[in-house]
């Protein structure tokens, strides 16, 4: 199975997001990763539904919205309306994971759960039937450009094994500190979607990484 790349706009030039989305599309991206921060679950504030809505008509890319927000339940409607294809919520941000996931699925789009580096995959135990994606965070959420935490590699393997054992078609996304040097190892551990922000938008020849990584595992 080939891996998909989901470049994160967090490291793009925010003054010209429409062009940046076009650029990753031309370089072979399958998805675009949108990091939504609310200044509460994490200290930073990034973008909200109006920006997602503004970009929607300009791209055919699958819009993968990663909600690093405290009250995801309230934000589901606005992001669905804005055109997101998938909403991923942080497991740590809600006491009502089942309810939030059902609410996303009820809107007819895909649902994912993100796990912080210290969060065990056992939180997924009773929500597997509601999942289209599991996002294993390989940095602590809040900022781009951090270093990959190798201690999450066994968790990637454990989640991949669960998906296989249950016979599910759930994507396994890895987010944080992904670059040319570690992408292959992360895919070998079981990732099917790799997020990369600074490695795509800020590194030399970063755009070429999209096609390179998309060919791994083929």
List, by residue number, the catalytic residues.
35, 175
20, 38, 132, 175: residue in contact with Zn ion (rule CB under 5 A)? 175
By beta-carbon proximity to Zn ion, the closer residue of 23 and 66 is 66
Please give the residues from 4 up to 63 whose contact with ligand DX5 meets the rule CB under 6 A: 8, 10-11, 33, 35
Count of beta carbons in the 10 Å neighbourhood of residue 208:
14
Q: Is residue 176 within the footprint of ligand DX5 (CB under 6 A)?
A: yes
User: Which residue has the CB atom at the shortest distance from ligand DX5?
Assistant: 197
Options 61-69, 70-78, 103-111, 203-211: segment touching Zn ion (CB under 5 A): 61-69
| Rounded alpha-carbon distances, angstroms, from residue 127 to 23, 52, 97, 178 | 36, 27, 8, 27
* CA dist 45 → 38, 69, 143, 177, 209 (Å): 5, 10, 10, 20, 27
Q: Tell me phi and psi for residue 189, to 5 degrees.
A: -75, -15
Q: Exposed, middle or buried, 158 (CB in 10 Å: 0-12/13-18/19+)?
A: middle
Binding residues for ligand DX5, rule CB under 6 A, total 22
Which residue is associated with the tokens 């999942």?
A: 131
**Residue 35 binding Zn ion, by CB under 5 A:** yes
Give the binding site for Zn ion (CB under 5 A).
35, 66, 175
Give the binding site for ligand DX5 (CB under 6 A).
8, 10-11, 33, 35, 66, 139, 141-146, 175-178, 195-199
């Amino acid at each position: 199975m080939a891996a998909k790349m989901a470049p994160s706009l967090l490291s793009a030039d925010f003054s010209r997001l429409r062009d940046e989305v076009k650029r990753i599309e031309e370089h072979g991206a399958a998805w675009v990763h949108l990091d939504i921060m609310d200044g509460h679950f994490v200290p930073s504030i990034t973008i909200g539904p109006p920006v997602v809505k503004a970009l929607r008509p300009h791209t055919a890319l699958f819009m993968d919205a990663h909600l690093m927000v405290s009250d995801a339940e309230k934000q589901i409607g606005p992001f669905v309306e804005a055109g997101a294809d998938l909403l991923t919520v942080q497991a740590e941000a809600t006491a009502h994971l089942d309810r939030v996931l059902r609410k996303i699925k009820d809107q007819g789009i895909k649902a994912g759960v993100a796990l912080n580096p210290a969060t065990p995959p056992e939180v997924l135990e009773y929500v597997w039937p509601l999942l289209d994606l599991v996002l294993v965070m390989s940095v602590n959420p809040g900022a781009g450009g951090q270093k990959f935490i190798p201690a999450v590699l066994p968790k990637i393997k454990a989640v991949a094994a669960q998906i296989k054992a249950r016979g599910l078609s759930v994507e396994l996304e890895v987010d944080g500190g992904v670059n040319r040097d570690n992408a292959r190892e992360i895919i070998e551990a079981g990732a099917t979607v790799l997020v990369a922000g600074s490695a795509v938008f800020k590194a030399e020849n970063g755009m070429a990484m999209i096609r390179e990584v998309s060919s791994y595992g083929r």
